[in-house]
Chains A and B, each alone.
Chain A
Amino acid sequence: MSETDIIKSQHPGANGAAQDVVLSVRDMCISVPGEDGPISLVRNLSFDILKGRTLAVVGESGSGKSVSALSIMRLMPKTTITTGGVLLHGRDLLTLKEREMEDVRGNRIGMIFQEPMTSLNPVFPIGMQIEEVLHRHGKGDGSNLMQQVIRLLDKVQIPNAARRVSDYPHQLSGGQRQRVMIAMALACSPDLLIADEPTTALDVTTQANIVDLIKQIQVEDQTAIMFITHDMGVVAEVADDVVVMRNGNAVEKASSREIFEAPSQPYTQRLLSAVPIIGSMRNSTKPERFALIGDEPAAPAPAAVAQGAQGTVLDVKDIAVSFEVAAGKSIFRKNVVRAVKGVSFDLKAGETLSIVGESGCGKTTVARTVLGLQQIDSGRITIGGKSMTDIGKQQLREVRRNIQMVFQDPYASLNPRLRVGDAIAEPMLAHGFSRGEALETARQLLEEVGLTADMVTRRPHEFSGGQRQRICIARALALKPKVIVADEAVSALDVSVKAQVLNLFMDLQDRYGIAFLFISHDMAVVERLSHRVAVMYFGEIVEIGPRSAVFGNPAHPYTQRLLSAVPVPDPSRRSHIGSVQSEPVRRDDLVTGQDLTKRSYRDLGGGHLVLE
């Protein structure tokens, strides 16, 4: 009883009546055993979640936010030590026996996870997977259960619910799977829903739909929600209250409005300063660096004029790429997926062209194509005035040294066995530099990207993700290329690191006049650093033009939808429930062998083209 009193005293005011506190976390400390004693993951975390309200727990990787959620559910490995109190309606979950806790999970607390693709059991129908929660917690019996399952699927807006119950997870899209997960988590009408990065793995339009659904359900059921995310835009969209975490500590606790309008802690301020806000560049035509608070005093670029910002360095004309996939009844007939069709663009020295689009739209295929990692069916690619398409192997190597790449995953792009210096030297050695020369250049390049020259002898595992990406950039710079292709090069990085690496890109462009082909799904990032933007949808460029024109006057309906779906880190600009259009249907004509009728672009002036 006394603990409830404490909570009561801490929550005066309209929404703070004691009976409304669903979950109360008191001084929670989490540690795991390590080689040299226990490793502390979370320290003295306390917060309350009230009925019908959403608490967002926000932080970068390693902040302890997911660990906290899993510890509330007691889903961490058995060796984990959790102390403090986790009170669900006043009952301490940490002191329950495992079998009692099993009665709480899925029943009083529902949970959804980041990866909808892997969170459902692939070998059972979705209906059965929802049904077993109901059955386990004694919510009805027999045929009645299936009726409830269908009602739940209706509630999460799965069309034709009655027919989908026998579907297997692989037959559903990512967004639909996340809806099934939500149905499962809500099956027993829990008091609390824990959503651990539920939208991170989803495309931006799908993400908006899922956020929308969660908000809608909360209004209907008055469920308390703990929403874990790293995305300030999503926080602004869903949260009533916010806990900002860093390195296992709660840095700041406040209402959503306070966090965004008047963050009191330096870390929160810095986090917010690193978030690109879509629409904030309306009055500018050029890219703009992030003005970062604190952290490294980002080596101010000598902002020289980009050297000769004219001259086309990369010219892509009408390329098409298709893949064969095994499908259909005959083993001899293969279906052809047309991944990219009729894509044309050019890239000038010192310019950044971004290709944006959602997963599966063909943007990565385009990137791989210009690097020669993927064969094209037809079309022409010219780099620095030399064609790449019909020349010999030796010449191709020479042409290709003008175009280099930075990959998405900084952990996979470096051979763990090679020293950093050798990794950076590799392109130079391949093009006839002496080893000494190459290593000397590697030292210079490391300084160039904001690291130190003495790091050449270290191995990749000694570096963080952001540092590794800097090393990859140094490697890409080694041959002094005219073009660098960056395929989702900052997507895997934390917000503040992301901003630093983006600044580095812009600095390098200023200094050397390098052209960037920037592949991304993140509209806000693209707005920040692009001169021009191309929007891809199902293998085609549907709109291309100067960044200010495409973002300011989006002409294609898909571009408009994409832009409207981006969450804005500003609670006052929150979108209303139901304002986002539903998920696009899958276009089956992609998987046919038939040729689509050739379509043409309408010119809106100033190089702004839109597909008709």
Chain B
Amino acid sequence: MKICVLVKEVPDAAVEKRIDSSTKRIDRSGEKNLNPFDTHAIEAAMQVKEGGVVEVEEVVAVTMGPESAFRALHKAVSLGADRSIHLTDEALAGSDCCATGHALAKVLETESPDLVLLGQQSDDGECYTMGAIVADHLKMPSLTQVIKMDVAEGKLTCERQAEYGYDTVEVDLPAVISVGDAINEPRYPSLKAIMGAKKKQLDTKSIGDVGIEADKVGSDGSRTTVLAINPPPEKAAGEIIEDEDTNETVEKIVAWLDERKLLA
């Protein structure tokens, strides 16, 4: 079995996020890290590999991102991936969800994976459930919000969070599974693994290498445009009640809640 793990480099949670007002895109300078949800995906891949139920030939980390994204791949490799692929090309800059999904699917096609794993969302919150987009392009079944995954020959039995509770779903391989952070506790890489990451095979690919047409990606290929960026609306000043007669205070609170349909 070959497992591909899609990873993404995102701004570190501690870095103040800014919009570059000239390009209307997120200012991506500043510290970046491997998307925390993706570490769960890598851990899930490693657990399948080490689980012994199916034979996994290799775990490949794949990312689409600017030059600096190779760090996310190094991190993925230090956590156990065998090699990595970096899809990077100026033509990809400004890709929206649709274009990104298309590009990722194309690069995955070249690998013919049996299982694609990724985190169910990224810290910069741009596109939830990228997995579902990629899966449809690849014509594979997809499941998101997965918090438990048992693998057997040719299929998976997954538990996932849904509207009404937890669903148990059987999925035939090949498949794309997006995992939640409750699925596992990612391991820490050993120092040896961190230092060895640089030596593992890293293939850099441009759009031409994987058959992506330039007009399907980037700002040109995107199907949405940002019209405006505004600061969030000012919150009106709140009301303050000094409690003297508690019965009266409580009546006021209940009326307030009721007015806002919070006591339905």
- Are chains A and B native binding partners rather than an unrelated pairing? no
The interface of chain A, by Cβ under 8 A from chain B, is none
The interface of chain B, by Cβ under 8 A from chain A, is none
